Amino acid sequence: MASVIDELRQRGFIEQTTHEQELEDYIEQGNITCYIGFDPTASSLHIGSLVPIMSLAHMQRHGHRPIALVGGGTGLVGDPSGKTEMRKLLTAEAIEDNARGIKKQLANFLDFKQGRALMLNNAEWLTRLEYIPFLRDIGRHFSVNRMIKAESYKMRLDSEEGLSFIEFNYMILQAYDFLELFNRHKCRLQMGGSDQWGNIVAGVELIRKMHRQTAFGITFPLIVTSSGEKMGKTAKGAVWLDPARTSPYDYYQYWVNTDDRDVARFLALFTFLPMDEIRKVESLEGADLNSAKSILAFETTLLVHGRQEALNAYQAALSMFGGREIPQHLLPSSTIPRSLAGDDDLSVPYSFVEAESLKAGIPAFKLFHQAGLAASGGAARRLIEQGGAYVNGQRIDAFDRLITEQDLNEERVIVLRSGKKRFHKIKAQA
RNA sequence: GGUGGGGUUCCCGAGCGGUCAAAGGGAACAGACUGUAAAUCUGUCGGCGACGCCUUCGGAGGUUCGAAUCCUCCCCCCACCA
């Protein structure tokens, strides 16, 4: 089997490593332990964390032991890396809550049974530190001259707002985490986003200074879309892994809307489909490329939300947008259904309206506003006046056209649509 | 603590007594073109059943026929000095 490093490299996970050759030799020995830190700044992870998560999953699949370290302690301090503004400090309780939510989500990707992967919280050791002993044992190994040169602080040092002392300590605490995991679990590899390079190297050096042993670091590239956007950023905010924040349908839609140029790259990063199949996608265009996007969306939704939700989202997309058969030879390892069967579209957003009020009729612009397809009544009016509103596939031309029970289809449903891709179903309620 | 410069609609950023719901850009939304892609062009972009009405320019007062614009106090940010 190819080394996990090769696999990660081929899939585009690796930006930079320390001690390249030594690292490869070390990993070849097998059964190593590595870790990545996750910030508990929200109760859910979002797409931006997918690269670290997938890398841990690859590690585990190659027989290594991943540690997901939730930053319950470092979260109290706040990482300034790459940030232009100081983050607001969260309360200890909020961080605890968030840590719990994150643990749940990671369990979808990693097998934590029998210690095959570990989930730790650095609050366990960080909150117990004593200031003076810490300064004497750990702090003395850090040169402020060097620290202020670190890229991760640069933005803040150059900014008007400056860098507060609490944030300045972040690097030291993260280095200490690495040391602690080295001591407790023989963890000698830390991975992280490219903005973590300085923090990771600080840990590598601390371990060398304290124990005269080599530790390693790997950073991932910052994944941006071909149009230059950071992954997972939409107008409505981040794309979350928590179905309560981003529905499986929206999650699926996010991926189907992937830019042409990104499809193969994203298949490599965000699915486990084999690379030799993925390479063939690079030369596709037109309809086949769109099928590849469906597979990308299906596979990523499957990983986060499970098979049933992935099927629902896929079927919903078929019924709303129409579909085409997905060729057998395209990414054959994917378990996406390849024939057009079923018309189950449970996961399109919907809401209920009382049958009574439909008898009287509801002005279209009000209904669009209520359904959440327009931010205000005025916006709904504009939408309609500009020809961007559809009822059951028919463009409507008057903002106050009454929507009545006449508009219900055989299934007692009215399909509203804004623009090309935003759907909402209205169901009559007796 | 002192001195100076600031806080404008989702973001950046003009406006500095009426012509201001507030230039310009970005983002967003819609139309055309398409492949639920990109690029491009066009329109929209505070609220309201709407040629009018209502609420916005850090907060509270005041001057004025009239204030985002002037005055007073307060809050917050930044730079330099200490």
Judgement on whether residues A97 and A73 belong to the same structural domain of the protein: yes
Judgement on whether residues A212 and A274 belong to the same structural domain of the protein: no
Determine, yes or no, domain membership for A208.
yes
Domain count, chain A: 3
Domain final position from A194, A220, A246: A220
Which residues in chain A show pLDDT less than 70? 1, 82-90, 158-161, 233-236, 340-346
Judgement on whether residues A207 and A265 belong to the same structural domain of the protein: no
Q: Which nucleotide is nearest to A289 (CA to C1')?
A: B35
Q: Cα dihedral angle (A326, A331, A332, A335), rounded to 10 degrees?
A: -70
Instruction: Note the CA–C1' distance, A378 to B67, in angstroms.
Output: 28
The answer to whether A54 and A109 have CB atoms below 8 angstroms apart is yes
Q: Which nucleotide is nearest to A388 (CA to C1')?
A: B30
Going by the DSSP 8-state scheme, the letter that residue A9 receives in this structure is H
> What is the structure's pLDDT at A89?
61
Determine, yes or no, domain membership for A210.
yes
Determine, yes or no, domain membership for A285.
yes
Cross-strand bridge partners of residue A385? none
Tens-place pLDDT, residues A233-253: 666 678 999 999 899 999 999
Q: Establish whether the CB of A162 is closer than 7 Å to any nucleic acid atom in strand B.
A: yes
Judgement on whether residues A154 and A33 belong to the same structural domain of the protein: yes
Q: Report chain B positions within 7 A of protein CB atoms.
A: 27-32, 34-39, 43-50, 77-79
Q: How far apart are CA A168 and CA A125, in angstroms?
A: 19
Q: How far apart are CA A64 and CA A56, in angstroms?
A: 9
Instruction: Note the CA–C1' distance, A388 to B42, in angstroms.
Output: 14
Judgement on whether residues A268 and A146 belong to the same structural domain of the protein: no
User: Which residues from the 276-305 window of protein chain A have CB within 7 angstroms of nucleic acid chain B?
Assistant: 285-287, 289-290, 293-294
Q: Establish whether the CB of A364 is closer than 7 Å to any nucleic acid atom in strand B.
A: no
**A16-17 sheet: strands from edge to edge:** A16-17, A216-220, A189-193, A33-38, A65-70, A118-121
Residue nearest to nucleotide B43 (CA to C1'): A386
Q: Which nucleotide is nearest to A374 (CA to C1')?
A: B29
Judgement on whether residues A92 and A170 belong to the same structural domain of the protein: yes
Question: Which residues, in sequence order, are CB contacts of A257 under 8 Å at separation 6+?
Answer: A293, A421
> What is the structure's pLDDT at A224?
87
- Per the structure, the complete domain to which residue A400 belongs is given by 350-429
Instruction: Note the CA–C1' distance, A85 to B16, in angstroms.
Output: 30
Domain final position from A158, A186, A220: A220
Q: How far apart are CA A70 and CA A40, in angstroms?
A: 7
Judgement on whether residues A249 and A283 belong to the same structural domain of the protein: yes
What the block records as the tokens of A418 is: 């804004």
> What is the structure's pLDDT at A161?
65
C-alpha count within 13 angstroms, C-beta hemisphere, residue A83: 16
Q: Which nucleotide is nearest to A258 (CA to C1')?
A: B37
Judgement on whether residues A207 and A124 belong to the same structural domain of the protein: yes
CATH at residue A360: 3.10.290.10
CATH at residue A171: 3.40.50.620
Determine, yes or no, domain membership for A339.
no
CB burial of residue A214 (10 Å; 0-12, 13-18, 19+): middle
Angle, helix A248-256 to helix A286-305, in steps of 10 degrees = 150
> What is the structure's pLDDT at A86?
58
Q: CA-based angle A276:A278:A284, to the nearest 5?
A: 120
> What is the structure's pLDDT at A16?
93
Instruction: Note the CA–C1' distance, A77 to B4, in angstroms.
Output: 34
Instruction: Note the CA–C1' distance, A54 to B24, in angstroms.
Output: 44
Q: How far apart are CA A423 and CA A425, in angstroms?
A: 7
